[in-house]
């Protein structure tokens, strides 16, 4: 028969409550004499007692559950983030529940209600959209801790990248290659992520002394299909752009197809830059120049912060974490071809 906590209590000559306090490490709140603690630990080892996880969680008033809310499971960026979350959660004894909201407020609200009713210990909200509405008061009743990835918050801990600076760097790279008409495929949402990336694009154009042409800014919706349609619209302008910067890699992939459909070439006719550096970006032909976001690291850092918040370590809900990005220059922007031509020119003998 399985050894129970009562068996340990009887063997050690103490109460069940004392065994529970020793087994769960809660002797700071309820002191146990060193001799008694040693006697309990000896009985636990000798009898081979293993505390029941569910019982431990009930005593600690924890469920051991973490909810993850993402806007679109079909976007390969979000599973990478979720992988980082799950790795840290699993290492700390938590089980993850994964929910995709499809950017629908009613679906998001339904998931949040279900997760809170399950008494999840923590929520990780991924993405910059506003379809998920949370306040301190809405989760306080349940004791649930919250971390946002990609979205600012005054009430909860956040893990973010510098979208403005990264988008500015990408646009400046295209400007440095000689492009003066650069299209930008944004997204028709209130997402802080896209708003900030658009701001970085505008800042780079203006800093270079150019005027922002609103005709060169077209809304997408993060998908390949709408990125394709947006690029067609840009390339059919009377004075089309010679370069396109898409606010995510999926829209950049659609834009690459649009260029080919019009009988044009990337990067010979149109330079192309994306954002996120999803795994497929390196294997496109031409390979995609893009802003690399350490998606898995975002998840890791968010879950580490959440574990600290759940354990009451530091200032729960007030952590502000930044993860660095970098521009990965590949073939789609034309820089590598230009460098190759430069090397060939240097190697040519003088006439």
CATH number of the CATH domain containing 217: 3.40.50.2300
Q: Exposed (0-12), middle (13-18) or buried (19+): which is 260, by Cβ within 10 Å?
A: exposed
The whole-chain average pLDDT of the chain stands at 88
The reply to whether 350 falls in a domain is no
Peptide bond into 141 cis (omega under 30): no
How does residue 25 score in pLDDT terms, banded at 50, 70 and 90? low
Strand 271-276 and strand 243-246: the pairing is parallel
- Which are the contacts of 293, defined by CB distance < 8 A and separation ≥ 6? 77, 161, 166, 275, 276, 277, 323, 325
pLDDT at 346: 54
264 shares a domain with 175:
yes
The reply to whether 351 falls in a domain is no
Which DSSP string corresponds to 77-89? HHHHHHHHHHHHH
Each residue's pLDDT tens digit, 218-254: 998 889 999 999 999 999 999 999 999 999 999 999 9
pTM: 0.78
The reply to whether 49 falls in a domain is yes
Q: Which domain holds residue 73?
A: 63-160+296-318
224 shares a domain with 128:
no
Instruction: Find the DSSP H helices in 14-76.
Output: 16-23, 34-47, 53-60
Cα–Cα distances in Å, from 20 out to 49, 53, 235?
12, 12, 69
Domain boundary among 59, 77, 103: 59
139 shares a domain with 76:
yes
Residue 256: is its pLDDT beyond 50?
Answer: yes
Task: Give the residue with greater pLDDT, 34 vs 252.
Answer: 252
Rounded-to-10 torsion of CA 340, 342, 348, 350? 180
Instruction: Give the number of domains in the chain.
Output: 3
The reply to whether 79 falls in a domain is yes
339 shares a domain with 305:
no
The reply to whether 228 falls in a domain is yes
89 shares a domain with 54:
no
Q: Report d(CA 137, CA 311) in Å as an integer.
A: 20
219 shares a domain with 203:
yes
pLDDT at 4: 85
The reply to whether 67 falls in a domain is yes
pLDDT at 22: 81
120 shares a domain with 219:
no
Q: Tell me the percentage of the chain whose pLDDT exceeds 90.
A: 63
pLDDT at 137: 85
Residue 351: is its pLDDT beyond 50?
Answer: no
140 shares a domain with 39:
no
Task: Identify the residue whose tokens are 């801990």.
Answer: 157
Tokens, residue 216: 């060169």
pLDDT at 1: 65
The reply to whether 348 falls in a domain is no
pLDDT at 344: 47
268 shares a domain with 120:
no
Each residue's pLDDT tens digit, 196-221: 999 999 999 999 999 999 999 999 88
92 shares a domain with 52:
no
180 shares a domain with 148:
no
Q: Tell me the percentage of the chain whose pLDDT exceeds 70.
A: 88
The reply to whether 83 falls in a domain is yes
Q: Report d(CA 113, CA 301) in Å as an integer.
A: 25
Cα–Cα distances in Å, from 112 out to 3, 49, 109, 117, 267?
38, 37, 5, 8, 44
Of 153, 152, 155, 161, the C-alpha closest to 316 is 155
pLDDT at 250: 95
181 shares a domain with 135:
no
């Amino acid at each position: 028969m399985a050894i129970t906590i009562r068996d340990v209590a009887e063997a050690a000559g103490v109460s069940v409550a004392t065994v529970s306090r020793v087994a769960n490490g809660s002797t700071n709140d309820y002191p146990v004499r060193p001799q008694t603690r040693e006697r309990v630990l000896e009985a636990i080892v000798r009898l081979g007692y293993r505390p029941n996880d569910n019982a431990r969680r009930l005593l600690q008033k924890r469920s051991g559950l973490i909810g993850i809310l993402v806007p679109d499971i079909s976007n390969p960026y979000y599973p990478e983030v979720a992988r980082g979350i799950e790795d840290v959660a699993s290492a700390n004894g938590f089980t993850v529940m994964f929910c995709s909201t499809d950017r629908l407020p009613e679906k998001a609200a339904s998931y949040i209600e279900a997760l809170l009713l399950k008494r999840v210990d923590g929520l990780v909200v991924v993405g910059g959209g506003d379809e998920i509405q949370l306040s301190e008061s809405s989760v306080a009743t349940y004791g649930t801790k919250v971390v946002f990835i990609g979205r600012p918050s005054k009430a909860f801990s956040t893990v973010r990248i510098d979208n403005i600076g990264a988008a500015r760097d990408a646009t400046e790279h295209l400007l440095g290659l000689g492009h003066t008409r650069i299209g930008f495929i944004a997204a028709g949402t209130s997402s802080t992520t896209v708003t900030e990336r658009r701001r970085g694009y505008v800042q780079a154009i203006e800093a270079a002394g150019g005027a922002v042409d609103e005709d060169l800014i077209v809304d997408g919706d993060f998908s390949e299909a709408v990125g394709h349609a947006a690029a067609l619209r840009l390339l059919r302008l009377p004075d089309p752009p010679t370069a396109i910067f898409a606010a995510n890699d999926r829209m950049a992939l659609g834009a690459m197809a649009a260029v080919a459909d019009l009988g044009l070439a990337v990067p010979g006719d149109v330079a192309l830059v994306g954002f996120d550096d999803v795994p497929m970006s390196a294997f496109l032909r031409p390979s995609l120049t893009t802003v690399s976001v350490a998606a898995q690291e975002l998840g890791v850092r968010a879950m580490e912060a959440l574990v600290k918040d759940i354990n009451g370590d530091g200032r729960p809900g007030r952590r502000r974490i930044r993860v660095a990005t970098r521009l990965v220059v590949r073939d789609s922007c034309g820089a590598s071809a230009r460098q190759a031509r430069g090397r060939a020119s240097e190697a040519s003998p003088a006439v």
